[in-house]
Amino acid sequence: MKRKRNKAENTIDKSYKCVLYPNKEQISLIEKTFGCCRYVYNRFLDERISAYRDNGITVSYSDQCRQLPVLKADPETAWLKEVDSTALQYSVRILQDSFDNFFRHPGKTGYPKFKSKRSHRQSYHSTCTNGNILVIDGKHIRLPKLGVVRCRIPMKVEGRILGAAVTRDDTGKYAVVLHCEVPMPAPLPDTGRSVGVDLGIRTLAVTSDGKEYCNNRTYAKNLKKLARAQKKLSRKTKGSHNREKQRIKVAKIHQKIHDQRLDAVHKMTHELVREYDVISIEDLDTREMIKCRFAKDISDASWREIRRQLTYKSEWAGRQLIVVDRWYPSSQTCSVCGHVSESVKDLSVRQWTCPECGSLHDRDVNAARNILREGLRKAG
């Protein structure tokens, strides 16, 4: 049950991720908050399951919210008062959202599961009320219950702060994500140019202008290093300090792969939005495509992330993003005469000659040109 808020006109929601450097007391309180939020979530999930199994009734979100003050007043669970109250309330909201997604999207979203304390990824969300979340300067931030925490802020935080999510990743590093409501940025000046983008594996993307964006294949490049680290991890004694240190090394390699991949996607999408007024892409069903033998390569190419970034960056920059139907034969259609050649379905065919007009085509560039043409036709 997502809470509705009065969003100001001509504003957007923007997040800023900052690395935290808490002291020992603050780390202890952060870990305690993780545990309290996990306890509230698991307790109320068990309550809902038991109530429906035993009595056939459904416990509502508001009923469970009213139980939080009762739990704090109970001597056995009075330790819940030591952490931020809005973080506990948000845990109940997350539980309700999980049930809503499960019933609204059957088959796509699974039934809510209990949270495990053994998970190395932990987080909690605090809501900003009465200025309890405040960026003091470029090196410090004030958070509920934690007080002033030293941090590294990569860019200036603008707008009204709505909340903050404190996280701990697999490597044991802490971070805070500030959710802000900022004014809508001014649209970029018109360039009068349109482009079609064909996403691929051999190259990250090819445009209708013939420009190629290199696929760094970050996973493949780090695969040997990752395999050696995981092999060492498998030989460590479970529960030992050496195993934990090796686990962190493996997690750092995964983090490096993620960061390199995300950096390449950000640079590409930023350049496309800056240089073109209209961007046309294909609607790829990555959920089904990763079931084939190219699953690792497709995941490494981050097609879903490319579309996500183009969607919000186009909106912010005042650009038009057009999504072409996934069944449109962009690779098989001649971009000159429109003839459809069934023989081009074979992915090994990188260049082909149209049997009708005799035009020589590069597979990816030809597909990008067809995607652009179909996108402009669809836009009217």
User: Tens digits of per-residue pLDDT, 315-336?
Assistant: 999 999 999 988 888 888 888 8
Separation of alpha carbons 269 and 340, rounded Å: 30
Q: Which of 84, 277, 300, 364 is catalytic?
A: 364
User: Tens digits of per-residue pLDDT, 342-363?
Assistant: 777 777 778 878 877 878 888 8
Number of Cβ atoms within 10 Å of the Cβ of 7: 11
Model pLDDT, residue 336: 81
Q: Please compute the mean of the pLDDT values over residues 229-255 and round it to a whole number.
A: 96
pLDDT averaged over every residue in the chain: 91
Q: Which of 84, 282, 300, 374 is catalytic?
A: 282
Could you confirm whether 325 is annotated as catalytic? no
Token pair for 55: 């009595």
Could you confirm whether 170 is annotated as catalytic? no
Could you confirm whether 198 is annotated as catalytic? yes
What residues contact residue 219 under an 8 Å CB cut-off, 6+ apart? 257, 261, 296, 299, 300
Model confidence at 1, pLDDT cuts 50, 70, 90, reads very low
pLDDT above 60 (res 286): yes
Q: Could you give the C-alpha distances from 156 to 11, 18, 137, 161, 178, in angstroms and in order?
A: 17, 11, 9, 13, 12
Q: Which of 198, 277, 300, 374 is catalytic?
A: 198
pLDDT above 90 (res 249): yes
